[in-house]
């Protein structure tokens, strides 16, 4: 796919990444919305795209390229200009369908050129490319690295979720530059092996708020490496602000100042500049702005507004401003501090999610009358919780059956990271005096009281596994049933990585991350562990018997 992306850009086209793990209906919508001229794929993903009515090229079949020249097309022949599209990346949409963000070459060039001038890249650098290419951080991983002669080391699929593998890869290839979503940085900092990744010169973070604890632990783990906090929405070419984490973090970790040719304005609801220290909505202007949303003229007009402070004599000023929906304030030292969201858009583990899109899909399920989705802190991390009022069809269903129907129904339309961890049933919505849902009065999710039959742990393996799960999810051990699912109890992708690490620390080194997603209950996980114990025992018996063999000549 790296070759495919470079080929599209060099030919003057715009690329649209399609994640083959997405539901077929979501991919079909994106293909129809973008009206592709051609789809590039590989043999392993051929089954995903073969039924779509779009010309498709299998990049693994090299013979089809033999008639073509290996020389680059002359840029003057292409007629490529800075206002042409470079890529379109789809993000979650509040109307129930994803929206395509159109980014032009000018915006991409401005971002890459700034990053190179600020941080530098040369032929001795090795950059770890681990971000899925459906997210915009991958764009700088590809383009900055290869535009300036450095080496790109591509992690295996899903490898970005495995701290142990990443540590090995960093050390094996002497990686010098890489990116982490803050929550993943926090996870890898828990691994001792990360302290041996001393080849790292610069680590970049973006995607969610970087915590003081992340910076403090990074400084301890890699005292001679740089950590940089970047901020920016997909609608403004990856990142628009930066801050060197070598600075003072006693007041928190700011998102910093604007990059080159970018204007950051903090405005009140009437588009007036707010005073220093006051909180307002962050607006972005300058060369990094996206063209808008593909085929969504009304939404584009709503989010990309006329700039009341436009000054053509200022390089960073543009006729349009993008309304981020992010709250921010300017500190006395001039640095910008992120203060949260205005609306119901959230980021969980760096992935942007419109809660309205999940609610829209929930409302289309036969078993659901109405719904509300919120993000809540559970077991030390932010998780999606869906509150549902069952329809006539769903009323009276056992909770586990209803839970399965909801999650299965959502998985047809939504990617995995948008499926709520917990489903809470309400008979009636609590209302405020003006008739709106009273979010504060909603029942607190209690993952330990999932409506499954309680089966206690009895064997040594079961007791060990249940104890690990309970500690990770901050539950009482006696409340965790063997019939419960780790994910329905509140587990998620990062928590699964911690579970895997705990199991390996207890000798179950053969378990892989995908095993945790394949099993449906803690009991099945225990069976897997017991099978590993039996295999170990058999191997030991064979070794012991070899030691007692007598050889005759």
CA-CA distance, 347 to 375, in Å (whole number)? 9
Which range, 25-34, 69-78, 436-445, has the best average confidence (pLDDT)? Answer: 25-34
What are the tens digits of pLDDT across the range 496-542?
888 888 888 888 878 888 888 888 888 998 988 888 877 766 666 66
- Mean pLDDT, the chain, rounded, equals 87
Judged against a pLDDT cut of 60, whether residue 450 lies above it is answered with no
Instruction: Please indicate, yes or no, if residue 360 is contained in any of the structural domains.
Output: yes
pLDDT-wise least confident of 83-92, 126-135, 179-188, 359-368: 359-368
- Residues 333, 359, single domain; the answer is no
Asked if residue 269 and residue 316 are part of one domain, the reply reads yes
Containing H/E element for 373? strand 368-378
- Tell me which of 286, 317, 341 is where a domain ends: 341
Q: Where is the domain boundary, 312, 341, 370?
A: 341
> What does the alpha-carbon distance between residue 207 and residue 473 come to, in Å, rounded to a whole number?
24
Q: Closest Cα partner for 493 from 162, 21, 23, 155?
A: 162
Asked whether residue 255 falls in the same domain as residue 131, the answer is yes
In a domain? residue 438: no
Q: In the prediction, which pLDDT does 539 show?
A: 62
pLDDT score of 144: 96
Average pLDDT in the 351-365 region? 82
User: Do residues 266 and 336 make contact, with C-beta atoms less than 8 angstroms apart?
Assistant: yes
Mean pLDDT for the stretch of residues 323-345: 88
- Note whether residue 143 is domain-resident: yes
Residue 447: the pLDDT is: 60
pLDDT at residue 153, rounded to an integer = 96
Strand extents, DSSP E, 197-261: 202-205, 226-231, 241-244, 257-258
**Would you say 265 and 324 are in contact if contact means Cβ atoms under 8 Å apart?**
no
Domain end marker among 279, 309, 341:
341
Nearest-angstrom CA–CA distance, 122 and 253:
29
Domain region containing 506: 460-539
Mean pLDDT of 253-263: 95
Answer yes or no: do 143 and 247 share one domain: yes
The more confident residue out of 476 and 142 is: 142
Q: Using alpha carbons, select from 114, 200, 166, 141 the residue that is nearest to residue 1.
A: 141
| Whole-number pLDDT of residue 553 | 41
Q: Where are the alpha helices (DSSP H) in 333-424?
A: 355-363, 399-411
Q: Which residues of 310-329 are buried (b: 16+ CB within 10 A; e: fewer)?
A: eeeeeebbbebbbbbebbbb
Question: Does residue 198 lie in a domain region?
Answer: yes
Q: Is residue 231 part of a domain?
A: yes
Q: Is residue 20 part of a domain?
A: no
Please state the separation of Cα 318 from the chain's center in Å.
30
Percent of the chain with pLDDT over 70: 94
322 compared with 411, residue with greater pLDDT? 322
Is 405 in the same domain as 465?
no
What average pLDDT does this structure show over 172-189? 92
- Confidence class of residue 433 from pLDDT cuts 50, 70 and 90? low
Q: Which residues of 217-250 are buried (b: 16+ CB within 10 A; e: fewer)?
A: bbeebbeebbbbbbbbbbbbbbbbbbbebeeebe
* CA nearest neighbour of 359 among 334, 337, 324, 387: 387
**For residue 534, what is the domain's CATH number?**
1.10.1200.10
Element (H, E) at 383: strand 381-390
Phi, psi of 230 (to 5 degrees): -115, 155
The residues, ordered by sequence, that sit 6+ positions from 131 with a Cβ below 8 Å of its Cβ are 137, 138, 141, 160, 179
* Domain match, 173 and 220 both: yes
Banded model confidence at residue 321, pLDDT cuts 50, 70, 90: very high
pLDDT tens-digit readout, 460-500: 888 999 999 888 888 888 888 888 888 877 787 788 888 88
On whether residue 450 sits in a domain, the answer given is no
Identify whether residues 329 and 357 lie together within a single domain. Answer: no
* pLDDT recorded at residue 299: 94
pTM of the complete model: 0.79
The answer to whether residues 298 and 321 belong to one domain is yes
Q: Has residue 2 got a pLDDT over 70?
A: yes
- Is there a contact between 266 and 283 (Cβ–Cβ < 8 Å)? yes
Tell me: do 311 and 374 sit in the same domain. no
178: domain CATH number is: 3.40.50.12780
For residue 103, is pLDDT > 90? yes
Tokens of 131: 């971000």
Q: Binning pLDDT at 50, 70 and 90, where does residue 548 land? A: low
Q: Are 334 and 369 members of one domain?
A: no
- Is 90 exceeded by the pLDDT of residue 53? no
pLDDT at 542 (0 to 100): 64
pLDDT at 383 over 60: yes
Higher pLDDT pick, 360 / 460: 460
pLDDT of residue 107: 95
Please state, in angstroms and as integers, the Cα–Cα distance from residue 517 to each residue in 403, 452, 511, following that order. Answer: 17, 19, 11
pLDDT average, residue stretch 223-234: 96
Please check whether residues 382 and 499 belong to one and the same domain.
no
The number of folded domains in the chain is 3
Beta-carbon contacts of 276 under 8 Å, excluding residues fewer than 6 positions away, are 330, 331, 332
What CATH number has the domain bearing residue 373?
3.30.300.30
Q: Is residue 240 part of a domain?
A: yes
- Dihedral of CA atoms 69, 73, 74, 80 in degrees, nearest 10, equals 160
Same domain, 534 and 388: no
């Amino acid at each position: 796919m790296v070759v495919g992306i470079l080929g599209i850009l060099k030919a003057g086209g715009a690329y649209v990444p399609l994640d083959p793990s997405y539901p077929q209906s979501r991919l079909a919508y994106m293909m129809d919305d973008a009206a592709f001229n051609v789809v590039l794929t590989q043999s392993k993903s051929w089954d995903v795209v073969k039924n779509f009515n779009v010309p498709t090229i299998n990049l693994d079949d090299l013979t089809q390229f033999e008639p073509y020249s290996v020389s680059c097309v002359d840029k003057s022949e292409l007629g490529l200009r800075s206002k042409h599209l470079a890529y379109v990346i789809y993000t979650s949409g509040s109307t129930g369908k994803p929206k395509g963000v159109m980014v032009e070459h000018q915006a991409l060039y401005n971002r890459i050129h700034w990053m190179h001038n600020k941080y530098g890249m040369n032929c001795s650098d090795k950059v770890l490319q681990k971000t899925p290419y459906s997210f915009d951080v991958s764009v700088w991983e590809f383009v900055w690295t290869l535009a300036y002669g450095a080496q790109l080391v591509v992690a295996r699929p899903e490898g970005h979720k495995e701290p142990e593998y990443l540590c090995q890869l960093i050390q094996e290839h002497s990686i010098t530059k890489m990116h982490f979503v803050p929550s993943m940085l926090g996870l890898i900092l828990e691994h001792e092996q990360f302290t041996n990744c001393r080849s790292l010169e610069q680590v970049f973070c973006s995607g969610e708020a970087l915590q003081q604890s992340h910076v403090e632990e990074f400084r301890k783990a890699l005292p001679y490496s740089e950590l940089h906090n970047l901020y920016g929405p997909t609608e403004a070419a990856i990142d628009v602000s930066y801050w060197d984490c070598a600075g003072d973090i006693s007041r928190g970790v700011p998102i910093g100042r604007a990059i080159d040719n970018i204007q950051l304005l903090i405005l009140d609801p009437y588009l007036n500049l707010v005073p220093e220290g006051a909180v307002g909505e962050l607006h972005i202007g300058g060369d990094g702005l996206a063209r808008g949303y593909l085929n969504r003229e009304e939404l584009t007009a709503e989010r990309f507004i006329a700039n009341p402070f436009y000054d053509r004599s200022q390089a960073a000023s543009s006729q349009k401003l993008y309304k981020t929906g992010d709250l921010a304030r300017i500190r006395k030292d001039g640095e910008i501090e992120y203060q949260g969201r205005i609306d119901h858009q959230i980021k969980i583990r760096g992935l942007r999610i419109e809660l309205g899109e999940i609610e829209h899909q929930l409302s289309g399920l036969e078993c659901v009358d109405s719904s509300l989705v919120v993000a809540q802190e559970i077991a030390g991390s932010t998780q999606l919780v869906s509150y549902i009022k069952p329809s006539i069809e769903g009323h009276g269903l056992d909770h586990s059956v209803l839970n399965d129907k909801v999650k299965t129904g959502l998985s047809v339309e939504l990617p995995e990271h948008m499926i709520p961890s917990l489903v809470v049933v309400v008979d009636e919505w609590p209302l405020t005096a003006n008739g709106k849902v009273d979010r504060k009065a909603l029942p607190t999710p209690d993952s330990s009281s999932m409506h499954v039959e309680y089966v206690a742990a009895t064997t040594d393996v079961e007791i060990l596994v249940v104890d690990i799960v309970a500690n990770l999810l901050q539950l009482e051990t006696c409340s965790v049933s063997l019939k419960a699912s780790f994910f329905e109890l509140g587990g998620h992708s990062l928590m699964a990585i911690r579970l895997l690490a705990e199991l390996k620390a207890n000798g179950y080194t053969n378990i892989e991350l995908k095993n945790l997603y394949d099993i449906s209950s803690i009991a099945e996980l225990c069976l897997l562990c017991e099978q590993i114990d039996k295999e170990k025992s058999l191997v030991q018996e064979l070794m012991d018997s070899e030691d007692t063999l007598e050889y005759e000549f």
